[in-house]
């Protein structure tokens, strides 16, 4: 029998064992496994534990003690006692038969009148580095594994990290290295932990939960990690119902024509300025949509000069996309007519659905019941449609001014991104696709991420999320996408108003925000702190190449800003570049006589555009320079644009800092138009450069 077959047989045996234990637990009215049951399951998975043998009398406890050898631990075994230590049900470091007898009697006396199965006798583990391994079930992402240092580190400092199950090998390594206490595991004052053995333990736990999805929570706490191997000292498994299978998603190829339709019908189009139906149709016309447009309005012959139709069924040509702008209670009927006409995509921009309560949810369900049998995909409701500058399509319910074709993809749960934010951002950012998903009744953020990432016009993606509907599929899709294109996400709703009581340490520590941060790390997504941070990062990724070296060259006109830039470079785990001697000599010829120092290169207020250009051209020749921070004078900002336009960067990103840039926006926009992002502080620039450098480094290491 080969190893793979042995593994499959072993997993089946373990699953059968768990099923029997689960049935027994249900008969006894408990939703968890007792310690001796937990350890039997773990041992069958090849996980080393202290063992647990049940004694039902003093003599049996002594007999087990003699077979194990001193010292031993006694623990109460009872379906009524989950937290044994807190209840006084544990006796440690018993070294002879008399101590075992006394310990047994003390436990039995403490729990008189309770349902006691017996007393567990087990090996007393020798001390090691104390860690905790746990599992909880997140309502969005399903089973999640937690790892951290044990003892005070988990109880007080919460030094833990999370990953979605199933874990890959690199996930196991990453979760270990992520905790602040990793230095202790690597080795400190002659004590080190067996990290490969720990990785193996995490992967086995991941496989156990995959094979038996009824495991709702689990704590292995403590686990003693040694220089060679480990020992699980205590274990707890909480059982639940088998979670339902997630719905099978439609393939991403199905969404291509949503972004590149040949024809669009606007149901609820209006000729009255200010109405949403007027705004949407006006946007499509004013941006010169490439395909055919069909306004649908039973009370109009023409809308904005285009022939109108009473109903969509009156249009005899094929329609790829229908935009619905009628009241919520009318929407199911309109959806049915669209499906009967063979429409492939329906964008419901109307509001008044699930966001309004139960009645709205029922309307949404009727829409899905109609659309699914026809294979029709729904976007929204309560969204602002899709913008694709590469097909000249703007479906927004807010009026959108002229847009430049760009390389940024934006997925937003909030419709404000499709119009309100673009009013200003369009001056310094060039978007390719903006997709709003609203209530995401059908098409969700995972579908959009998968589909838009395939668009050759999109190089970098950003997301505004209030929730995630795709579950584990979101992790897998995001991991695939971030291997090719950077994804920056802003997740709102970081705090919880309250949290239900949890049986395990793991569940009590697994807050909504902690899980999302872990999922983003696991899938390679860069998490933004707020809207400004997200768009700052996106501009950097969209306009400039990734740094290939961690060395940063700083050019400034103000010494203080140069010092701040140097500090923040170090704070972001980058470093100042060290130029080659020949390049330093060339730089010295550019500096005023009264200035010293070559990085930061401080020109004081004598700095001009020509000096900046020549300095950058010297810096790009250095093997140690990976990127540039250029602090520019706001007073002469307009003079820099042409100089920066003419530089051959040789694949090394340049970021500009302009203190008070909000007072010189015309010049800022001119510099942004030549491809150099402009920020107000060195801290923002260093943060962006670090994100770019480590994204590139981590992507190459996959």
- What pLDDT does residue 494 have? 61
pLDDT for the residue 507: 57
**444, pLDDT greater than 80:** yes
Q: How far apart are CA 325 and CA 382, in angstroms?
A: 10
What is this structure's pTM?
A: 0.90
Contact of 459 with 485, CB cutoff 8 Å: yes
pLDDT beyond 70 at 583: yes
Residue 553, CA distances (Å) to 575, 579, 634 in order: 9, 9, 20
| pLDDT tens digits, one per residue of 106-135 | 999 989 888 888 999 999 999 999 999 999
Which residues contact residue 660 at a Cβ distance below 8 angstroms, ignoring those fewer than 6 apart?
A: 634, 680
Give the up-direction half-sphere exposure of residue 433: CA atoms within 13 A in the CB hemisphere. Answer: 26
pLDDT cut 90: percent of the chain above it: 76
Residue 248: pLDDT band (50, 70, 90) is: low
Residue 225 tokens read as: 């990690």
The candidate with the shortest Cα–Cα distance to 419, out of 384, 448, 391, is 384
Q: At what angle do helices 581-588 and 609-619 cross, to 10 degrees?
A: 170
b/e string for 312-347 if b means 16 or more Cβ within 10 A? beebeeebbbbbbbbebeebbebbbbbbebebbbbb
Beta strands in 206-358 (DSSP E): 215-225, 230-232, 235-239, 263-267, 292-296, 302-303, 306-307, 321-324, 345-348
Comparing CA positions, the residue from 372, 376, 316, 370 lying closest to residue 346 is: 376
Q: What is the pLDDT of residues 255-282, one digit of tens each?
A: 999 999 999 999 999 999 989 999 999 9
Q: Containing H/E element for 410? A: strand 408-412
Pairing of strands 627-631, 551-556: parallel
Q: Is 172 helix (H, G, I), strand (E, B) or coil?
A: helix
- Contact indicator for 159, 490 with CB cutoff of 8 Å: no
Domains of the chain, earliest start first: 3-123 (3.30.1490.20), 129-239 (3.30.470.20), 252-494+501-540 (3.40.50.720), 545-701 (3.40.50.261)
Residue 623 CB neighbours (<10 A)? 12
292 pLDDT above the threshold of 80: yes
Residue with tokens 């707890």: 236
Residue-wise pLDDT tens digits, 67-110:
999 999 999 988 777 677 777 889 999 999 999 999 999 999 98
Query: What's the confidence (pLDDT) of residue 504?
Result: 54
**DSSP character string of 42-73:** HHHTT--B---EEESSHHHHHHHHHHH-SSEE
Residue 670 to residues 610, 659, 666, 678, 685, Cα–Cα distance (Å): 17, 16, 6, 10, 18
Q: At residue 82, what are phi and psi to the nearest 5 degrees?
A: -95, -50
Q: Where are the alpha helices (DSSP H) in 238-322?
A: 256-259, 276-286
Nearest alpha carbon to residue 695 among 472, 515, 480, 546: 546
**508 backbone dihedrals φ, ψ, rounded to 5°:** -70, -25
Write out the two tokens for 546. Answer: 């990734």
């Amino acid at each position: 029998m080969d190893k793979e077959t042995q593994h499959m047989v072993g997993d089946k045996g373990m699953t059968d064992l768990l099923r029997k234990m689960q049935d027994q637990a249900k008969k006894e009215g408990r939703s968890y496994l007792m310690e001796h049951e937990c350890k039997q399951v773990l041992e069958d998975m090849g996980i080393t534990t202290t063992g647990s043998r049940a004694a039902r009398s003093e003599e049996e406890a002594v007999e087990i003690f003699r077979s194990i050898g001193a010292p031993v631990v006694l623990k109460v075994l009872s379906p009524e006692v989950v937290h044994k230590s807190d209840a006084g049900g544990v006796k440690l470091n018993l070294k002879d038969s008399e101590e075992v007898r006394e310990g047994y009697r003390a436990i039995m006396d403490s729990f008189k009148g309770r349902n006691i199965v017996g007393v567990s006798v087990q090996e007393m583990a020798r001390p090691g580095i104390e860690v905790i391994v746990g599992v909880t079930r997140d309502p969005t992402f399903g089973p999640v594994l937690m790892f951290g240092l044990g003892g005070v580190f988990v109880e007080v400092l919460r030094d833990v990290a999370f990953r979605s199950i199933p874990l890959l090998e690199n996930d196991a390594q990453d979760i270990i290295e992520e905790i602040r206490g990793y230095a202790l595991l690597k080795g400190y004052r002659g004590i080190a932990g067996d990290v490969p053995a720990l990785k193996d333990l995490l992967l086995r736990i991941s496989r156990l939960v995959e094979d038996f999805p009824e495991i709702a929570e689990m704590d292995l706490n403590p686990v003693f990690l040694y220089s060679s191997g480990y020992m699980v000292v205590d274990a707890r498994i909480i059982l639940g119902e088998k979670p339902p299978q997630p719905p099978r998603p439609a393939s991403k190829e199905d969404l291509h024509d949503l972004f590149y339709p040949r024809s669009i019908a606007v149901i609820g189009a209006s000729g009255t300025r200010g109405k949403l139906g007027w705004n949407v149709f006006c946007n499509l016309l004013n941006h010169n949509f490439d395909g055919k447009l069909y306004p649908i309005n039973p009370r109009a012959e023409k809308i904005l000069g285009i022939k109108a139709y009473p109903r969509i069924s009156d249009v005899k040509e094929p329609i790829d996309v229908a935009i619905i702008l009628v009241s919520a209670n009318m929407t199911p009927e309109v959806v049915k007519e669209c499906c009967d006409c063979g429409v492939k995509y329906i964008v419901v921009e109307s509001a008044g659905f699930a966001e309004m309560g139960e009645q709205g949810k029922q309307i949404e369900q009727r829409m899905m019941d109609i659309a699914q049998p026809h294979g029709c995909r729904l976007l929204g409701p309560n969204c602002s449609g899709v913008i694709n500058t590469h097909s000249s399509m703007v479906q927004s319910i807010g009026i959108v001014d002229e847009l430049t074709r760009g390389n940024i993809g934006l997925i937003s749960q909030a419709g404000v991104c499709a119009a309100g934010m673009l009013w200003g951002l369009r001056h310094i950012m060039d978007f390719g696709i903006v997709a709003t998903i609203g209530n995401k009744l059908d098409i969700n953020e995972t579908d959009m991420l998968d589909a838009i990432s395939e668009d050759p016009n999109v190089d970098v993606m950003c997301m505004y999320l209030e929730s995630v509907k795709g579950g584990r599929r979101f992790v897998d899709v995001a991991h695939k996408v971030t291997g090719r294109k950077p994804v920056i996400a802003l997740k709102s709703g970081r705090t919880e108003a309250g949290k239900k009581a949890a049986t395990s340490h793991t569940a009590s520590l697994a807050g909504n925000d902690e899980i999302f941060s872990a999922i983003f790390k696991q899938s390679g997504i860069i998490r933004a702190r707020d809207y400004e941070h997200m768009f700052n990062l996106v501009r950097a990724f969209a306009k400039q190449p990734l740094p290939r070296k961690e060395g940063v060259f700083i050019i400034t006109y103000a010494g203080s800003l140069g010092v701040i830039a140097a500090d923040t470079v170090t704070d972001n785990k980058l470093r100042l570049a060290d130029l080659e001697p020949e390049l330093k000599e060339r730089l010295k010829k550019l500096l005023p006589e009264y200035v010293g120092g070559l990085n930061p290169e401080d020109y004081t207020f004598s700095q001009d555009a020509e000096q900046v250009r020549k300095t950058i051209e010297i810096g790009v020749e250095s093997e140690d320079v990976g990127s540039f921070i250029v602090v520019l004078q706001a007073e002469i900002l307009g003079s820099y644009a042409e100089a920066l336009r003419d530089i051959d960067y040789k694949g090394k990103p340049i970021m500009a800092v302009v203190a008070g840039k909000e007072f010189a926006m015309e010049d800022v926009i001119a510099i942004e138009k030549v491809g150099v992002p402009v920020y107000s502080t060195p801290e923002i620039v260093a943060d962006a450069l670090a994100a770019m450098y480590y994204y590139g480094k981590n992507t190459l290491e996959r």
